[in-house]
Structure 1
Amino acid sequence: MATNITWHPNLTYDERKNLRKQEGCTIWLTGLSASGKSTIACALEQLLLEKGIGAYRLDGDNIRFGLNKDLGFSAEDRNENIRRVSEVSKLFADSCMISITSFISPYIEDRSRARELHAKDGLKFIEVFVDVPIEVAEQRDPKGLYKKAREGAIKEFTGISAPYEAPEAPELHLRTDLKTVEECTLIIYEYLLREKII
């Protein structure tokens, strides 16, 4: 851990918010693989941008191919992956952007730490449980990951050989086997309106 570093003060969050005319927050989508997290995140990002609202999506594609390309999928590496994503999403929120994260993030403790990190700086953190029965997720299985996990080719696969700890009190709970992508996206958008974030 670095010790001889100094924080360089700059604009405050409120100053940025007034200049950008936008509040920042993190929308944290969590759920099983193939639950629909990334699809909803993409749709939400597009909707917000079309309405002139600054938003950016963080997911396995743009994080694990760059910032976290040194991490594997052990429990320790997955924890570190989520820790780094928490820090990056907080920076986006602090810049008065809407950060949309889409990660399985299977452990309550990791998601709680992400929430606490935001709360410490007075930033909003919106946990969205993208929920689907595992049978439906396995039927979707767009990347064939469940099949590989069942065959033993993938070790520690969430929902099969590794646990998923469902959120206990998420701000939003979306059942993607019961609602369309468009409906789920609108639910999040309307929540942001109700909470006067946008």
Structure 2
Amino acid sequence: MEVLDGDENRALLSAGLGFSRADRCVNVQRVGLVAEVLARNGVIAVVPVIAPYADSRAAVRKRHEQSSTPYIEVHVATPLKVCAGRDVKGLYARQLAGEISGLTGVDDPYEPPPAPDLRVDAHLQSTEESAEMVYELLIARGVTRR
């Protein structure tokens, strides 16, 4: 299993991209390509990124379908208030102070998936419970075994 961390991808794979809609879509496509190549080679890729636009997510799903590789969309449905309260990177505070703009879900859109393969309400359960939900879905879809 390989984890394609969003921050690492932004720093390396998508270095130079900004946060415009076009750049965000390119970032998602690049990470999606790497995940699909890994999947074609039997490696499960976990991709914890913010993919705010439905069309970008659909394109990545289509790429996986075309190569007959598994694709599972997990929507970690955390309310904006909870995200802002956690503010691990200080982005919400910086946006509130007017230092940055284009923050997903605040002054840039987030299009929630209408029918993800799994919806995780992580703010209502423990990290372990959320991880178990994902693991059980991977088993049910035949992506991994116990």
Q: Shorter-chain-normalised TM-score: which range?
A: over 0.9
Of Structure 1 and Structure 2, the greater strand share is in 1
Match of 1:138 in 2: 84
Equivalent of 1:120, from 66, 83, 103?
66
Computed over aligned residues only, the root mean square deviation of the Cα atoms, in angstroms, reads 1.0
Could you say what secondary structure the match of 2:71 adopts? strand
1:43-122 equivalences in 2 (<5 Å): 55-122=1-68
1:164 and 2:110 correspond: yes
User: Any gaps of 5 or more consecutive residues in structure 2?
Assistant: none
Alignment partner for residue 190 of structure 1, among 136, 139, 144?
A: 136
Percent of paired sites with the same residue:
37
Runs (4+) of structure 1 exceeding 3 A deviation are none
TM-score normalized by structure 2?
Answer: 0.95
User: Which has the higher relative contact order, 1 or 2, with Cα contacts under 8 A spaced 6 or more apart?
Assistant: 1
Task: Assess if the C-alpha contact under 8 Å between 1:150 and 1:160 holds in 2.
Answer: no
Q: Distance in 2 between matches of 1:147 and 1:68?
A: 25
TM-score (norm 1): 0.70
State the shift of 1:82 in Å.
0.7
C-alpha contact (below 8 Å) 2:29/2:60 kept by paired residues: yes
Aligned residues: 144
State the one-letter code of the partner of 2:100.
I
